Chain A
Amino acid sequence: MTPAIELVGIDKSFGAVHANRGVDLAVLPGSIHGIVGENGAGKSTLMSILYGFYEADAGEIRIGGKPVAIRSPADAIAHGIGMVHQHFMLVETLTVLENVILGAEGGTLLKAGAAKARAELTRLSDAYGLAIDPDALVSDLSVGLQQRVEILKALYRGADILILDEPTAVLTPPEADALFALLAQLKAQGRTVIFITHKLREIMAVTDRVSVMRRGEMVATLPTAETSPPALAELMVGRRVLLRVEKSPREPGEPVLEAIGIAVTDAKGVERLMDISLTVRAGEIVGIAGVAGNGQSELLEVLAGVIQPSHGAIRIAGELIPPHRRNPARLRELGLLHVPEDRLRMGLVPSFPAFESAALGFTGDPAFARPAPFGALFDRAAMVDHTRRLMDGFDVRPPDPWLRSSKFSGGNQQKLVLAREIERGPKVLLVGQPTRGVDIGAIEFIHRRLIALRDAGVGILLVSVELDEIMGLSDRILAMCGGRITGERRAEGTDAQDLGLLMGGVSEVAA
């Protein structure tokens, strides 16, 4: 069978970074083809070349056996390739219909094109049972539905080959199931799907074949049925990895962090958190399970003092924190440290060299200041030394304190942020998405450090959208939905189905 898409010897460098090295890939028509690999393995670059964002330095793209030149997304669309990005490319203030015809309006005046598009859109959404109102504003749609609009957009432009980049990162488990059903349907109609993910479970569930990338090279392409998650993980990392974390039981100590009746209202007057009460004890990890956007981010930020609650009280180590002390700098002095969810927006300053990012929040440290009378100036040698020690302790690569923070891979950025906070000896550590965008090898390392910290008696509040991570690390799990805590479980007494129900808002009083 002629492959629907064939990439031959694709090579691409960005300066000194060799992102793709002689990559070959053949995707069979009417199949779902998974591509896995660690962050920075070159998956996104490869797909960007296929979709015309970048041009390859060398190599050939063949569609249906014929070599083609794809120099822009317009070329890709013309060849029947559609892409659904991880971050949707939708105009929120426009309707579904307007978004779908955007860039394919078919004339200066909208009316004729819109009428034609409406008919086509209705046909497509009937054919795939998508149930989308073409006149709904995109901003009113749920994330799952917005993703369908993206898929519709690609289908409307006649895509036979659909590339999905980490499509499930933003979905609830039921939404992900619906997506998988849709993909199966597309496949049944003979369309080809390329599915990029780092979740091995999803690869196993939906793909027919899977390709593994590592350090810019394609290391294997296998029928999914002939492989297993551990085997794939080993191919991705190049060595054996522990997918599960070992941890021994530990009796928690005194409460180190207590939230009592916390409520948060955002700038638009929307209630983001309602009546949140929780306790984190010394030497335990409390996990917050929930689908992204259900208040976990606000919970972390309010506890860290980044945003202020409209109601409620916070105690650290038993001591009530008055409102004027609820700012990150003061809380830090009390031993409450914070690894934020979004390391690029909060955890570090991308344009700063690593040693400056490694001082974020701790610039008042006298060790970083020159002796009086120049105390307002930094002792940069001390800062660089400190950063070098952090990098050694957490295996940050490359161990170069002068390198710009944005130049480190996601995993190494995360290790730097973790190192900065952990090495200050927290009493309480708030951790948001510790392994988002982090490669498998680093995930294992980060998990072990968090467990070690718990064993040393630190109270940890863990927020993550990865249910496996919550279940693997936590001693106790709170599920959140719609800004409320919908249930509490002991880690050993629950499973994904049980938590999934709680995360979906099936609230109940007792566990």
Chain B
Amino acid sequence: MSAPIELPRWADVALVPAVSVVAAFIVAGLVVVGIGENPLTVTRILVTGSIGSADAIGFTLYYATNFIFTGLAVAVAFHAGLFNIGGEGQATLAGIGVSLACLNLPFLPAPLLIVAGILAGAAFGAVWALIPGWLQATRGSHVVITTIMFNFIAATLVVYLLVNVMGRAGSMSPETAEFPAASHIPSAREVLGALGIAQPSTPLNLSLALALAAAFGVWLLIYRSRLGYAIRTVGASPGAAIYAGISPGRIVMVAMAISGALAGGLAVNELMGAQHRMVLGFTAGYGFVGIAVALMGRSHPAGIVLAALLFGALYQGGAELAFETPTITRDMVVVIGGVLILFAGALEGLFRRLVARTLTVAAPRRAREA
């Protein structure tokens, strides 16, 4: 029977996440020591590898773009009280939508084709999330279960499609033909190059701007719009929603659809921005990491952007680390990411208590001194 821990807003927003991240890095550092490496060296490689050069920053931001989309997807569902684990599957389906648009509408001029690709991706992702939402609303099937199952269905479906239907003719690899150039989202190199700023070639592209716009849009939606109010009411208090005349079932479906559409952004960045064709497994677990990003960002778009940057840096820096330090494999980097997720997400309550204690111990002392 422990009372919920109340913290001042600044502590809730900044201090607790910061303490969690620091603790995560300390524990990760201990793991590094355990395998006989110097944590300071590792940290240096991690930092320079992620933000030490224009090249590194480009990759970091490119990964962060994916995490912003998937983090936002999880957050919107979460505001409606839903745990959407299906970002992977929704992004996969979005990839099919993106490919269909890009490959079948080559007559469109560049800007229109890009818009069509984005809309198709969002629509396919939305529909794929809407089905579990509809099942939850009408049949009471829990979205956690159904979205996980839909990930598997999507994964198998896309294998079938890439091998038998959409695959490049005469190719053994499960991928589509290259998208027409008009569907390529301009890369950072092209955009900044046009402005006279030289950039190395990285997968970073204008999808980042789309991701940031999506973050702003989600903020407007959730905190400033009537629909967002309804979503939050359903998530925070279904009883109050029914009392107010808001239909929880309808909101569940709407929130899931928006969530799936946001997950579709992952396909936009990966396929239209970076790879310019659809390949098998392009979602690469970004959908799942989005859960951690949303948790760490406390489901607020600003927090999600920051958490996405952190995870982007970890991805990029981790790749460098695995490359430079033979004892630290890719798997070790996953361990560090896992520790971060554990501390930022699951163990957040631990530090809330600690922070609350520290603050209450400090407060009366200040009061007595005053």
Contacts and interface: CB of A to CB of B under 8 A. Distances in A.
A50 B320 CA distance: 57
Interface in A341-390: 342, 345-352, 356, 359-361, 363-364, 369, 376-378, 380
A15 B1 contact: no
B236 A306 contact: no
B237 A350 contact: yes
B113 to A, nearest CB: 27
A356 B229 contact: yes
Interface in A427-464: none
Contacts of A352: 232-233, 236
Judged by DSSP, the binding face of A is loop
A15 B363 contact: yes
Nearest to B243: A346
Contacts of B239: 342, 345-346
Contacts of B233: 349, 352, 360
Given A15-B6, A360-B243, A378 B229 contact: yes
A392 interface: no
Given A350-B236, A356-B229, A361 B244 contact: yes
A340 B229 contact: no
Given A14-B6, A348-B240, A349-B240, A327 B229 contact: no
B360 interface: yes
A377 B243 contact: no
Nearest to A361: B244
Contacts of A16: 363
Nearest to A359: B229
Chain A, interface size category, equals 35 or more
B224 A349 contact: no
B251 to A, nearest CB: 13
B243 A306 contact: yes
A363 B230 contact: yes
A155 interface: no
B240 A346 contact: yes
B226 interface: yes
Given A57-B364, A306-B242, A377 B224 contact: yes
Contacts of B246: 329
A328 interface: yes
B170 interface: no
Contacts of A376: 225-227
Interface string A7-33: 000000111100000000000000000
A349 B229 CA distance: 11
Contacts of A356: 229
A364 B243 contact: no
A359 B220 CA distance: 18
Contacts of B244: 328-329, 360-361, 363
A328 B243 contact: yes
B226 A345 contact: no
Interface string B267-280: 00000000000000
A328 B245 contact: yes
Nearest to A307: B242
Contacts of B225: 376-378
A180 interface: no
Contacts of B242: 306, 328, 346
A332 interface: yes
Interface string B199-224: 00000000000000000000010001
Q: Which residue, B226, B229, B239, B244, has most C-beta atoms of chain A within 10 A?
A: B244
A53 B1 CA distance: 7
B364 A13 contact: yes
Q: Which residue, B220, B237, B246, has most C-beta atoms of chain A within 10 A?
A: B237
A340 B245 contact: no
A256 interface: no
B220 A377 contact: yes
A330 interface: yes
A304 interface: yes
A350 B240 CA distance: 10
Q: Which residue, B6, B227, B230, has most C-beta atoms of chain A within 10 A?
A: B6
Closest 9 CB pairs of A and B: A329-B245, A328-B245, A361-B244, A346-B243, A345-B239, A346-B239, A349-B237, A360-B244, A349-B236
